[in-house]
Amino acid sequence: MKKNKARLNPDITPSKYFIQIEPNLADFTFEGNEVIYLDIKKKIKSFSLHSAELKITEAKLVLGQNSYSTKIKYNPKSEEVLLTFPSSVSGKARLHLSFQGVINDQLRGLYRSKYTHKAKEQYLATTQFEATDARRMFPCFDEPSHKARFILEVIVPKEHTVISNTIEQTISPHKPGYKIVRFEPTPKMSTYLLALILGELEHLKAKSKRGVEIRVHTTPGKKQQAKYALEFTKKALDFLEDYFGIPYPMPVLDLIAVPDFGAGAMENWGAITFRETLLLVDESQSPFSQKQRVAEVIAHELVHQWFGNLVTMEWWTHLWLNESFATYMAYVTVDAIYPDWNFWTKFVLEEQSFALQQDSLHATHPIEVPVNHPEEIAEIFDAISYAKGASVLRMLSNYIGEDHFRDGLSLYLKKHSYKNTSSVHLWEAFEKISGLPVRQIMKTWTTKSGFPVISAKLSKNKLHLAQEVFKQLSNKKVGKELWPVPLLIETGDNQYLSPMLMKSKTAKVAIDPASQYLNLDYNDASLTIINYDIALLARLLPLMQEKKLSTLDRLALVRDSFLLAKSGRLPTEIYLEVLTFLNNEQSYVVWSEVAKGTNQLRRMLAGTKADKDFENFTKQIFSELLNQKSLGLKPKKGETNNNAMLRGIAFAEAGLSGYKPAKNEAMKLFKQAQRGMGVNPNLRSAVYAIVAKYGGLTAHKSLQKMYVESDFATHKQQLLFGMINGCTEQNQKVLLNFIFSSSVRDQDRPFAIAAAVTNSEIKHFAWNAIKSNWPELLRKYGGSKMMGTLITGATSFNSNRELSSLQKFLKGKKIPAAKQSIAQTLEKVQININWQKRDISSISKYLREF
């Protein structure tokens, strides 16, 4: 195995790059010159640096008075070039390189993005370098620990806006019609954080409390949609400077909405790039959920300006330090700015529950994971590095206390500013501040995959607890790991036992016989699920119904019952019975968790004898919800955001399971929309999906037309996913043709295809479309995580026949960046098959009698 060769020779370190780039937006090429200032610590005759798809036209090494010619050998596989000199060299040197490259259409390196302005197609160029694509714009030492200063100079047409990490130092005239923009040197930073964006852009700006200039850029005609982001960024930047006790180090902070963008957003130091849907808000068109998401994503990227940019992981194995903290701290930030949003309930719904789903597969990985090659690195930007890591941090913060947590972070950031770290440096800081054995507790959580299920039963006033590894596919061998799990047991209204740390396999806890509740993990604080025995569950359900348990605990009870049912530890009909205790429930997050579960169940049951009865079951629970007094079909003036979002779910779920009043209302609203009266943004996704299901071909044609005509990315997304979620067999061909047409952007297509395969009714047709477009899909998305995204749609498959055809098709297909996604998808299909086989009869019986 030549695995350890993934790293460059550590004896050659860059300290400064001077880079000049001349992009050409007419033929999508660029030319570059650079000087890299190097320290060569040992005598060598040759060394490698990173370069991918670049042609180096000139190379020489200068040491003092001597200039050495350089032989170049490309190694496309490792994305390196080997430079060889006529004799051995060492000491301080300058490497001069000239090179040429392509402004590609693959959403990485320096790439192009298309937009329409005044009915004309235009392009801008932008960069996306994380994790390993800086090497596609300039030859470099493309590893996070090779920090250096960058001085960037760009030659562009006079009318273009150019954005990079820092502010312009000089703008000088060049050949006719062109200018040279030189930016101030960046702070010492990693290559993956360098950014360059150019094109015709407009912006709104404001100043932070301390005077940092914040600018939000859009393509022409959209700057009004930047208002919300600008206001939020101002507040968040002030908050974070105060929280960390370290000022943001640059005079300017740019946020840029890019029409084509592979990831969600990218934290380039001082020049953060976003998908339009994650930055631009239109007060009349944005659903509240989008506003929340925009705030969360901006906060996430701002946290990175410290966590990741100022202090960076030593190697990608510690990627989680970047992503988990940004994820966790984003919630701290938004919660501080909008306390009435109850943002931690969104954390548990979207991060913690997601982590539990993904990490209970056998195909998972520890938070800290050895990675080497670019594709392996690309694949770990996943639920584990983001959501599980963030959930572990929430657990830690609860355990050591929020103040210690903040002081520990601040200490860590100050001590390691402009340097690189690994997890242990952070544990040291937390231990120093809190005096608790943080390292010892965190070690299992970060170095082992998975999490425990804790089973609980009460006997003779003693609570008997036992932990074991939790996997959804339970007929496979599991490890014997034990986790230190902090537990705060709630025994009554505002009554708790003293906090415990469950470290061993079993534990006994004395319980006062008078205790009303036995709620084991108060506020779902730990990364575990609880398997109550039937007697304890029966005690908790009425408390859930009366909402005596916290929102988070109600959500957790629903979620844990679902996961237990899916894994065969709880009969599925008991999970369904748990849902009947929600007749008083009005929390958006609890119902979202329910909908996640019922949708998975629907896919597992698709095509079976229980299929129709289950549709009736969902119709009943969601129509009852919709008919709750505080809700109803029509939005109410001055209602809470919770209710506005809750109606969206209830409307969609009830309507899609055939509830007539929702169907009729959706048809009516859609007709009004066609006459120019926009549908309430919080109802759009529901209305479009219902119309796509019952409105036939005409509806699909209208939805497509609206999609093409809309220039607001979030509305387009609602239209597209509405069409997909509601599509039936009858319109599958029209739908798939549309998804593969140029009307849908490259950045959205993988998600759209995955969603189509997830829709059980059209899954075979959609999967065949993947198969017949495979070579083109592979060319476009093969190098990124998006190929994996595309394949994950197949988790809707639920039969042995489907599983083996999937296996047959994927066998021997080499897609390194989708290895994990493929393994997870196959495992999820197997879970469906086992679940169906195990529970279909009892589910059918329960549903018939329901």
Q: Which residues are catalytic?
A: 301
CB of 592 to Zn ion, least distance (A): 23
Binders of Zn ion in range 296-325 (CB under 5 A): 323
Residues near 512 by beta carbon (within 8 Å), at least 6 away in sequence: 461, 491
**What Rg, from alpha-carbon coordinates, does the chain have?**
28
Q: Looking at the chain, how many residues does it have?
A: 850
Cis preceding-peptide flag for 131 (omega within 30 of 0): yes
Please, which of residues 735-764 interact with Zn ion by CB under 5 A?
none
If binding means CB under 5 A, how many residues of this protein chain bind Zn ion? 2
Taking alpha carbons only, the member of 742, 668, 680 closest to residue 708 is: 742
Separation CA 770–CA 823 (nearest Å): 18
Residue whose structure tokens are 């005409």:
698
Choose one: 112-120, 126-134, 326-334, 549-557; the region binding Zn ion (CB under 5 A): 326-334
The least distance separating Zn ion from the CB of residue 193, rounded to whole angstroms, comes to 12
In angstroms, give the least distance from the CB of 205 to Zn ion. Answer: 24
Please report, to the nearest 10 degrees, the dihedral formed by the alpha carbons of residues 824, 830, 834, 840 taken in order. Answer: 100
Give dist(CA 765, CA 414) in Å, integer. 55
Token pair for 463? 């609570």
Place of tokens 């009969």: 571
Least spacing, CB of residue 177 vs Zn ion, in Å? 38
Question: C-beta of 389: minimal distance to Zn ion in Å?
Answer: 11
For the beta carbon of residue 584, count every other beta carbon within 10 angstroms: 10
Nearer to Zn ion, 384 or 652 (CB): 384
**What are the beta bridge partners of residue 502?**
485
Q: How far apart are CA 247 and CA 187, in angstroms?
A: 13
State the Cα–Cα distance between residues 560 and 553, nearest whole angstrom: 10
Token digits for 726? Answer: 């509601």
819's CB contacts (< 8 A; 6+ apart) are: 375, 379
CB atoms within 10 A of CB 750: 24
Q: How far is the CB of 555 from Zn ion (least distance, A)?
A: 25
Which CB, 426 or 485, lies closer to Zn ion? 426
Residue 371 exposure: Cα atoms within 13 Å on the Cβ side:
28
CB 273 within 8 A of CB 265: yes
Contact 849, 841 (CB under 8 A): no
**Shortest distance, CB of residue 781 to Zn ion, whole angstroms?**
20
* For Zn ion, the closer CB: 48 or 305: 305
Whether 560 and 528 have beta carbons less than 8 Å apart is answered as no
Cβ–Cβ < 8 Å for 388, 527? yes
What is the per-residue DSSP string for 519-545?
BSSGGG-SS-EEEE-HHHHHHHHHHHH
For Zn ion, which is the closer residue by CB, 309 or 467? 309
Query: Least separation, in Å, of the C-beta of 312 and Zn ion?
Result: 12
- Using the minimum distance from each CB to Zn ion, give the nearer residue, 355 or 646: 355
Closer to Zn ion by CB, 323 or 560: give it. Answer: 323
Q: Cβ of residue 304: shortest distance to Zn ion, in angstroms?
A: 6
What SS3 class is residue 674?
helix
Site for Zn ion in 251-280 (CB under 5 A): none
Instruction: Decide: 111 and 125 in contact? Cβ < 8 Å.
Output: yes
Give 421 or 825: the residue with its C-beta nearer to Zn ion: 421
Question: Half-sphere exposure of 208 toward its Cβ, with a 13 Å CA cutoff?
Answer: 24
Question: CB of residue 300 vs Zn ion: minimum separation in angstroms?
Answer: 6
Which three-class secondary structure state does DSSP give residue 673? helix
- Tell me whether residue 386 or residue 591 sits nearer to Zn ion (CB atom): 386
Nearer to Zn ion, 52 or 330 (CB): 330
Which one, 303 or 762, has the nearer CB to Zn ion?
Answer: 303
The residue from 56, 103, 257, 326 that contacts Zn ion (CB under 5 A) is 326
Residue 651 in tokens: 């409307």
Residue whose structure tokens are 């034990």: 482
- Compute the distance between CA of residue 509 and CA of residue 40 in angstroms, rounded to an integer: 62
Which residue's CB comes closest to Zn ion?
Answer: 326
Cα separation of 80 and 135, whole Å? 9
- Considering the complex, state which of residue 278 and residue 537 has its C-beta at the smaller distance from Zn ion: 278
Shortest approach of Zn ion to residue 347 CB, angstroms? 15
* Residues 186, 193: Cα–Cα separation, whole Å: 10
Window 421-460: contact mask with Zn ion (x via CB under 5 A): ----------------------------------------
Residues within the interface to Zn ion (CB under 5 A): 323, 326
